Structure 1
Amino acid sequence: MTHYRSTRLALTVLAAAGLGLSACSQDNSATPTSTTPAPSLAPSTTATSPADIAKQKATAAYLGMWSDMAEAATTSDWQTPKLAQNATGEALQTISRSLYADHYNGLVTKGQPVNHPKPASVEPLDNPTSVTLTDCGDSTNWLKYRADNGQPANDGPSGRRQIEALVKKAVDGSWKVTTFAVHEVGSCTG
């Protein structure tokens, strides 16, 4: 079901519930209840372009990828199927290898990365299948610790880093991050 249809269905259900509630009011006066149909719940006149929809879905997949990775990193679970919800191909391999290396080295990660992705390009504009995102990700509060004793691991500096990601539309219509590149700390200012 498309986003438009699910929104329309939800609005229709809410409208029907509202009509049902108004008919059950506690006003016992002799005034008859109106049988005038509810106004149409048509979508706003501002249409969302295919490019805007693609940007929204790609951004959601990108943020989902980092959220899934942060959750898996709390135990360094490189095998969780959840990682494939928002990442595929090289991106998924990079995440899995990183988590496996942490598992192998007895490390876990606590906290959450902070991301503020912005769409840089959409291809093609009329029927998008790929979106390039740029981000100034912040790992200041997403740190590695030794799993055996909970002590901080010396895994290098944390902070703000430039990130580029390519998000593509899959055959099933979902959007997934296919590649991403994380640069050194201090590589972004935004």
Structure 2
Amino acid sequence: MAKAGETADWQSPELAKYATGDALGVVNRSLYTDHLNGVVSKGAPANTPQVSKVDPADNPTMIMISDCSDSSNWLKYKDGQLLNDTPGGRRSITAEVKKQQDGTWRVTRFAVEGVGSC
């Protein structure tokens, strides 16, 4: 999403390599809204994801990932200017990742909490 956000490319084929279902829909709508509003993102979040759950344990088809992502250097711009003066920060992210029929793993759902949530 960070890469596609550089141009607000809601149609980037790269997005479907990493997300599907509800997760892909949320990402596409967010990027489409940015596109309509002339907003792009610069920089990238700093992520340190960790597996928090594996199901089933012996042959997983679903994992949960938790992160305390830092969006301080991933900000939105319009017409080359910082969109607002609200800095990013550390926020809790939880993602469900499922094994697909073709053997790949994709994010199917995720939740991003507000700044200061971790």
Structure 2 counterpart of 1:145: 77
More helix by share: 1
Q: Percent identity?
A: 58
Match of 1:95 among 21, 27, 37: 27
Kindly provide the amino acid, as one letter, of the partner of residue 31 in structure 2.
L
Q: Could you tell me how far apart the structure 1 residues matched to 2:109 and 2:44 are?
A: 20
Match of 1:115 among 35, 38, 47: 47
Structure 2 gaps of 5+ residues are none
Deviation of 1:126 after TM superposition, in Å, equals: 1.1
Pair member with larger Rg: 1
| Secondary structure in structure 2 of the residue aligned to 1:181 | strand
Higher RCO structure, 1 or 2 (CA under 8 Å, sep 6+)? 2
Match of 2:90 among 147, 154, 160: 160
5 Å-filtered alignment, 1:1-190, equals 69-146=1-78, 149-154=79-84, 156-188=86-118
Extract structure 1 runs of 4+ deviating beyond 3 A. none
| Secondary structure in structure 2 of the residue aligned to 1:184 | coil
Q: Could you tell me how far apart the structure 2 residues matched to 1:73 and 1:139 are?
A: 13
Kindly provide the amino acid, as one letter, of the partner of residue 143 in structure 1.
L
Kindly provide the amino acid, as one letter, of the partner of residue 58 in structure 2.
D
C-alpha RMSD of matched pairs (Å) = 1.0
Asked whether the 8 Å contact 1:116–1:137 carries over to 2, the reply is yes
More strand by share: 2
Structure 1 gaps of 5+ residues are 1-68
Q: Could you tell me how far apart the structure 2 residues matched to 1:79 and 1:177 are?
A: 17
Q: Could you tell me how far apart the structure 2 residues matched to 1:88 and 1:154 are?
A: 31
Q: TM-score, normalised by structure 2?
A: 0.96
Q: TM-score, normalised by structure 1?
A: 0.61
